[in-house]
Amino acid sequence: MKKAVLTLLIFMLIIQAFGQLNPINNLYWNHTYENPNNCFALSWEKPDTSYTDTLIGYNIYRDTSLYRFTTDRSFSCNPCIGDTNTSFCDFINILGGFTIRIKAVYNSSGIESGTNDSAICYGIAIGMNGPIKEDLKVFPNPTIGKLKVEINGLKKILVLNEVGAIVLEINTGNEVDLSDFARGVYFLKVFTDNGILTEKIVLH
């Protein structure tokens, strides 16, 4: 009996010791340009704290650089409602963008969790209206799998899921095959000689 109780106590201590590292899940990132405003929204689910130390907040990272600590589970910029803090997207690394990660912070010593999810930001969103935008043709959309991208000066195409993670990169040609991907909404980042365009795709 004593052995069983001791084993249970050890097991509970192990859970408490390692449970405090429960990571963030279901990170959501949305970034758009709505003339003349640059808007973004970042949010995530609270980690399971059933057997953890006290959760005190979250650290928001741009690549490996800490941007800010927050006790909220969302962070956004929407000039349409008066929030004009776009500095989060100003961070540009050598590749021209950065990875967003959120780490849960536990107890007064500031112990951080690992990360399960991440998203990609390509910097401040810039509107591509007029002739450049009008030249872009993506069809068929909605699609059941295969589609084509037509625009002058096409360099490469990235396919991103709803949280901004890259799921496909096409460096040659203008055909995109999403036949093996789950149904839902995707975004094409179309890189051209004149700039970068984004197109929303619905996969049936």
Which tens digit of pLDDT belongs to each residue from 83-103? 556 678 777 654 457 889 999
- Are 2-121 and 130-203 in the same CATH fold? yes
pLDDT in tens, the chain (204 residues): 555 444 434 434 444 444 446 888 888 888 776 666 667 888 899 888 776 678 899 999 988 889 889 999 988 876 655 555 667 877 765 445 788 999 999 886 778 888 888 888 877 665 544 445 557 899 999 999 999 999 988 989 988 887 667 889 999 999 999 999 999 888 888 888 877 777 888 899
CA pseudo-torsion sign 105, 52, 119, 127: negative
What pLDDT is attached to residue 61?
92
Tokens of 117: 């999810």
What pLDDT is attached to residue 15?
40
User: Where do the structural domains in the chain lie, given as residue ranges?
Assistant: 2-121, 130-203
* 3-state percent helix, strand, coil for the chain, nearest multiple of 5: 15, 45, 40
- Greatest CA span in the chain, whole angstroms? 79
CATH 3.30.390.50 assigned to 2-121:
no
What pLDDT is attached to residue 31?
79
CATH of 130-203, one of 3.40.50.300, 2.60.40.3080, 1.20.120.160, 3.40.50.2300: 2.60.40.3080
Residues 17-56: pLDDT tens digits?
444 468 888 888 887 766 666 678 888 998 887 766 788 9
The CA–CA distances, whole Å, from 85 to 75, 98, 127 equal 10, 18, 18
What pLDDT is attached to residue 203?
92
